[in-house]
Structures are given as structure tokens and as C-alpha cells.
Amino acid sequence: MLKLLSAAKQPGRRTRKEMSFLRRLICQGRALLKEYQLFGYHRVINNNGQKDWRFLKIELNPRGKAISGGSAKRNAPSPSLSMPELTSSIARGNGTAIRPNSPASTLQWVGQEVRKIFVNNILSRVTTNEQIAKQTAQRLMYGDSRPFFALVGVSLAAGTGGMLTQESEFDNLCWEIRESMIKKQKARVSEIIVPEGTVSVKDLKFGNLIQQGCNAAVYSAEWANNPSENANSEPLAVKMLFNYDIESNASTIFRAMVREIVPARHVSLNNINDLDRGIFDTVKRCPPHDNIIEITHAFVDQIPTLPGGIEKYPSALPRRLNPVDGLGRNMSLFLVMKRYECNLSEFLNSRREQLNFRARLLIFTQLLDAVAHLERNGIAHRDLKTDNVLVDLSEGEESPRIVLTDFGCCLADRSNVLKLAFRSYDTERGGNAALMAPEVSTAVPGTWKSISYEKSDVWSVGAMAYEIFGDANPFYKNQSLGKPLDSRNYTEGDLQPITGDVSVTVRNVVSALLKRNATERLSGQEAAFICHLHLWAPTNWLTRTKSPDDDEIMQWLVTLTTKALCNGSTELQYRLIQNFLRRAKFREIKSAAEWIANSNDV
């Protein structure tokens, strides 16, 4: 914002169209400041210690910093505020405590003042006790938002009419909700103890083979040099990628397997020179999320002798470990992560009859949350299947926490956001052909052709929903279903509704995710919000054909926020609520409620 505003003072560097936009932006910004009384005449104390009227204003110097100043007015309006009153008036939203000619640090300060005015205007409608309003506002500004949301929630529940009258006020209150959740989750620390410095194979003590696939083997592990810490840390797992044809060089291996480290928190660069470290700038890094695997360390090292290697994957070993059948190279990529009990496919198959609808809905919602997080960060997984979802059962089978793993096929290029140039059929389109979205599986190559992956992952989640809610996946071979559906030529009429104890809303969401036309498909964020409403909103919202009004939605949001803030539990349901509220935007939540009502009306 500062750069845009300051650029208006340099017309030689901008086109006429850009200058017009910048001028409109400045005018709108000044109008907003004037609306919240940051512009205007106020009585202040001048440099001589006398009371005077000044027109307080915010301008920008050539460096882009905000400064405040003022000019005297000969015919000042009738006195209304003295300097002490002006200083305290910010608590009532009636003015601003800017002294003339005092520099403000940035426009962020202005935003904070506007926030104070909004908060105190809301509190003035909630309570007539000025002392309570003042203390609540002060606690909110210092990070404790519980009293504020408690007061607002009680007022909304009591049916106070006209407390929020404009859509912008609903949006601002949602902003306060998001900020309170971000502050609550800001101190997120990994539960895994990580030794200082770089990591290598020598720092780990490998255990039994957990799982082995075509491209990697996963072992249980613990820190070799920190035996006292292993008792207090989460159990570890190490994924060793198979390397058949990549040169045994750290830079070359990272360049070829760079997509595997998209969710990595730390990458050991001990074997990489400074010139080759630019390879990590070609892909995006996925920010932390509760439902995305957290790879604590990624490093390249010599492949060691590990239990079960000769029996399970002899050809992947190098000749120095398997002189007869070894086809692998000496070095490969290792990923350190938390160990999980099982993958989602194993979990669902072993508990097909015992798992209730709510537990299945929790899994489905978490999976949509993970995909929505990838969408927001311009990343497509492209290999979604129940084998690539891990399950944490530390809170019991009724509250399974899931994480999305295996990013080896993901699209995370910084240059092309969720689009892939498709010039020939040799281009890799993804890992799982059976659950490949129609727009991907039917794409035809060409000189200027590209594939959009904006809504490809949610289509895969829609297909996985059949497995999650206890049915057979119609896109997989199954004796009970006969010939499987093909994403290239299926019609929406070919899809049978999910059977069993499943709500109408969930059936409608799954149908909307499996639309052949991507433009008609729900996004991950939209589908996740609908499922969150299904889990936490009043039950009658799911059955009525008229969506709740604005006050009802805000009352529910504030009540849910107060509950999440006052309960310090780290249980799955509270973590889900917090993740939902930190993304809460009034328009999107209202759209989700309207979608549910409209789907019930069909």
C-alpha cells in the first residue's frame, strides 16, 4: 500500500492508466480516513502551549512513510473537545489523539486507530457502562479478545437489534475473529525434538521397516545422539527415496526430487555449494497446517544397510550393499517426520462397521481443509488417494486426525500458478490415473495448451468420499460394482449416491465436487466451509430451505469464537474450530449457509 501511494508522486515511472488507478486509491483511502474522523478539525495544543484548532491530516513523504500534520483554521467550529478529552476520545470513537507535526511510523498505525474506533463503536452499542467498555477495549488491544466476544455474543443472543447495521461491520468483526485465532495459534512449536545443526544418517537410529512402495521405504527411527529426549518426543519415521538413475550428488538429487520437500520445515545444505542453492527457489514451500505432513528435516546422504532391505527392495540398493542385484545409486534423499499409526486406507478397511458418521465427517472435513490450504498457496497435490493420507489415533478412533503426505507428484512451481504447459503426452499429469480429474485426463496437448489444476484435487476428494463414508470407490475396480467408471467419459448420471447413514448435505457436497465441468465444481474452501457448518452450526440450518439471516450467522460465529478462546484444549474438534475461525470471512460463511439452504430446496 505504501509503495503504491508513494508511487503516485513519481508520474514519470507510471503509465497514465496506472496513475489513474493510484489517484483513485489515494482518494478512497483519504475518504475512508475522513469517514473515521482521522481527517478533520480538532482542538489541540500548539507549540506555544495554547489551544488552537488544526486540520489534522495524513500524507506521504517520498520514502512512502506516513506523516501527520495540520494547518490552523481561522474560523474554527464551535469547541467540542479539549486536548485531554481529545486524547481519551479514541476510547469512544469520537476523534483521534494525533499531535500536530508528530511523525507516525507507518500506515499500520492508522489502521490500528481505525480498528480502535470500530471496536469502541461496537462496545458503545453493547454496554452503557463506560468503564466496562474501556477495560474490554484495552484488553482486546493487548491480545485478550475473550471479554469483547463475550459481550458481543451476549448482546446478539439477547436480540439487540441494530448492533451491526452494515456489511463492512460484519466483515470487521470477522477480522477480529481471525486475528484472535491467529494469536492463539501463533506459538505453534513442533512436538519433535530436533538436534542442532545439520542432520545425517549417523544422527538417526533406524528401527523396523514400516512400509515399502515402488519409490520409497519408510522406517521407524529415533535420535541416536539424544536418547534422553526420545522418551519426551513423538515417535519418528524416516522416508528413504529410491534412487536408480540420479547422480550421487546432493545438488543433483535435490534438483530431481525438489517437490518432495515442499512441506519440509528444514533442509540440510551441508553437501550443497552456494551456487546450487537456487534450486530451492523454483518451487513453493507449503506453510504449516494441521492436516499437512510436517517434514522436520530433509537431507541427502549415503544409503546405509537397513533392516529388510535385501529382502524387500534388493534392486533399489547400490552395488556396494547388494553386489548381485543392486541397481540403485549410492546416495538418496531422506525425510524425517512424525510416525503415524496407519494410512487412511488401512484405517477405513479395518473399521468399516465400527466407524460412525461423525468420525467419517471429521476425516472428510480435514481432507477438504488440507486441499483448501494447498489451493490458497497455489499448490496442487495431484496424487490424492487414501494411501497418501496418514492417520493419528492418539485421541481415539472417534477423533482421527489425518495429514496429507507424499508430495512427490505435486505442482508447486513459482512461475505457473496451478497451470501446467501441456505440449506433448510425455508431460507428467499426476500420479494416480484412476482419480485424475476430467479436465486433466481429457486434456489434448498443443503448442499453446495448458492444464488447470485449480479444482483437480477437490474432484479427487469427491471420489475418495465414497471410501470415507463406507462405500466402494466407483472409479476403482471392484467386484460388487462391475466395470469402474472412467473420469474421461463418465457422466454425472452414472454416479450412484452414497448409501448408508449419510446426511443430505454431504451427498450434495460430494455430487458438487464430482461435476465434470470445473467451473461448476465447488472449491476446496467452499466445500470445507459447508462441512464446518455441518459440524458446528445449529442443526436446523441443515434442513431448512431459507438461509439464516446476518445476525444469526454472526451470533453463532461469536459464540463459537468465545468457546474456542475460553477452552485451551488441543483436542481435534477445537483445533478444527480454530482453523476454521482463522479463515472466517462473513461473505464466504454466508454463501456456504445459502448453498445448504438452496440444495435443500431442490
Q: What is the pLDDT of residues 101-157, one digit of tens each?
A: 444 455 556 666 666 767 777 777 667 677 777 777 777 776 777 777 776 766 666
Does the pLDDT at position 273 exceed 90? no
User: For residue range 367-386, what is the model confidence (pLDDT) as tens digits?
Assistant: 999 999 999 999 999 999 99
Rounded Cα gap, residues 283 and 415, in angstroms: 9
**Could you report the per-residue pLDDT of 68-89, keeping only the tens digit for each?**
444 444 443 433 333 333 333 4
What span, in angstroms and rounded, lies between the C-alpha atoms of 329 and 137?
63
pLDDT surpassing 80 at residue 414? yes
Task: Give the DSSP H or E segment for 217.
Answer: strand 216-223
| Band (29; pLDDT cuts 50, 70, 90) | very low
Reported confidence tier of residue 464, pLDDT bands at 50, 70, 90: very high
Q: Is the pTM of this model over 0.95?
A: no
Q: Residue 588: its pLDDT value, please?
A: 93
pLDDT per position as a tens digit, 327-376: 999 999 999 999 999 999 999 999 888 899 999 999 999 999 999 999 99
Assess whether pLDDT exceeds 80 at residue 315. yes
| Distance, CA of 408 to CA of 214 (rounded, Å) | 12
pLDDT at 122: 72
Rounded Cα–Cα distance for residues 390 and 404 (Å):
7
- Is the pLDDT confidence value at 586 over 50? yes
144 in active site: no
Amino acid identity for residue 511 in this structure: S
- What separation, in Å, do the N-terminal and C-terminal C-alpha atoms of the chain show? 45
The cell numbers describing 450, all together, are 495448458
Mean pLDDT computed over every residue of the chain = 78
- Among residues 383, 406, 413, 471, which one is catalytic? 383
CB neighbour class for 77 (10 Å; exposed up to 12, middle 13-18, buried from 19): exposed
Residue 243 vs residues 96, 216, 330, 431: alpha-carbon distances, Å: 65, 9, 8, 18
d(CA 468, CA 348): 7
Higher pLDDT, 434 or 60: 434
Fold of 345-522: Transferase(Phosphotransferase); domain 1 (1.10.510)
Secondary element (H or E) of residue 454:
none
What does the pLDDT read at residue 10?
A: 46
* DSSP codes, 183-209: HHHSS---SS---SS---GGGEEEEEE
d(CA 319, CA 264): 30
Q: How confident is the model at residue 489 (pLDDT cuts 50, 70, 90)?
A: very high
What is the 3-state secondary structure of 134-180? Answer: HHHHHHHHCCCCHHHHHHHHHHHHCCCCCCCCCHHHHHHHHHHHHHH
Q: Which of 499, 441, 503, 502 is nearest to 474 (CA)?
A: 499
pLDDT band at 199 (very low <50, low <70, confident <90, very high): confident
Residue 599 is predicted with a pLDDT of 87
Residues of the chain with pLDDT > 70, as a percent, come to 72
**pLDDT greater than 50 at residue 218:** yes
Choice among 52-56, 268-272, 323-327, 544-548 with the minimum mean pLDDT: 52-56
Query: Span 452-477, mean pLDDT?
Result: 94
Domain range annotation of the chain: 2-101, 201-339, 345-522
Among 3.30.200.20, 3.40.50.300, 3.20.20.70, 3.40.718.10, name the CATH number for the domain at 201-339. 3.30.200.20
Task: Kindly report the three-state secondary structure assignment for every residue of 497-521.
Answer: CCCCCCCHHHHHHHHHHCCCCHHHC
Mean pLDDT value across residues 43-52: 48
* Residue among 470, 457, 569, 447 nearest 513 (CA): 457
484: pLDDT strictly greater than 60: yes
